[in-house]
Amino acid sequence: MGHYVEVESGVKVYVEDVGIGQPIVFIHGWPLNSKAFEMQISELALHGFRFIGIDLRGYGKSDKPWAGYDYSTQASDVKAVVDHLGLENIVLAGFSMGGPIAIRYLTKYGEHGVDKLLLMGAAAPLFTQRDDFKIGLRPAEVDDIISQVKKDRPAFLALFANMFFEQKKSDEFLDWFKSLGLEAAAHSTINSAIALRDEDLRDELAGISLPTAIFHGQKDQICRYELGEELEKQIPNSVLVPFKYSGHGINGDEPDRFNEEMIRFLKSSGVKRAE
């Protein structure tokens, strides 16, 4: 079933809600929406979990206001959904841009009511390089992406789709994937790219005490695998799960293994593996 939740006056976000059981709150990446997780929904429901897929403001079926694309406002929108639906004992599952939004949620609201954290190809702790951080794109490369989006967004999304996956995909699959990006507003896509370029979560990792799984493709061209390694170093109770044959879109490149590892983590006691 679908819900619309008013997250601030005049702004509603769409939520896909399937299954019963512990709620797994999925936060999608740039510039997609909750449909990107369609291959996970049935698997979760079959194993007794409830899929909560939020279309972030500006994306999918949600309203597309001019402002509010920083991580803190997006995290506030996620909290509004959690509160409105009365969700308890949730797992935050953030993919790509959704990863830093999930981390910011914990920074702003604490871990009460949150059971675990799942980071998938996360654009964290930084998406772009700094003088003291040399993983990721250079800020100027994100500026170039913004220019391409402004000039010809459909053409950029076609290039992006080809970078996203390591395994060969059908033309039909890539067309579907591009269509998700076109459901977003152009201004949302650009403003979120600015957040990806500028925001820094390095001071927000050490305080996370939740059991955390970090899924990351070893051939990721968008959020380098080194980001996953950095997250494992900085988040105390975390485990890095490498996907050897995957690019950024791990749930599309290795769907069976992705779902298997996801269910294993969700059903686990959350104890970190022995070193």
In the chain, domain spans? 2-267
Q: Is 75 exposed, middle or buried (0-12, 13-18, 19+ CB in 10 A)?
A: buried
Model-wide pTM > 0.95:
yes
Active site positions, annotated: 96, 220, 248
Beta strands in the chain (DSSP E): 2-8, 11-18, 22-27, 49-54, 90-95, 114-120, 212-217, 238-243
User: For each of the chain's 275 residues, which pLDDT tens digit applies?
Assistant: 899 999 999 999 999 999 999 999 999 999 999 999 999 999 999 999 999 999 999 999 999 999 999 999 999 999 999 999 999 999 999 999 999 999 999 999 999 999 999 999 999 999 999 999 999 999 999 999 999 999 999 999 999 999 999 999 999 999 999 999 999 999 999 999 999 999 999 999 999 999 999 999 999 999 999 999 999 999 999 999 999 999 999 999 999 999 999 999 999 975 443 33
Q: Give the single-character DSSP code of 16.
A: E
| Helix, coil or strand: residue 54 | strand
Contact 34, 28 (CB under 8 A): yes
Q: Which CATH architecture has domain 2-267?
A: 3-Layer(aba) Sandwich (3.40)
The whole-angstrom separation of Cα 65 and Cα 9 is 11
> Residue 7: CB partners within 8 Å, gap ≥ 6?
13, 57, 76, 77, 80, 81
β-pair type (11-18, 49-54):
antiparallel
Within a 13 Å sphere around the CA of 119, how many CA atoms are in the beta-carbon half?
37
- Residue 274: phi and psi, rounded to 5, are -70, 135
Q: Which two tokens stand for residue 146?
A: 């913004």
Specify whether the CB–CB gap between 121 and 95 falls below 8 A: yes
pLDDT digits (tens, 9 = 90+) for 33-80: 999 999 999 999 999 999 999 999 999 999 999 999 999 999 999 999
The H or E element that residue 231 is part of is: helix 225-234
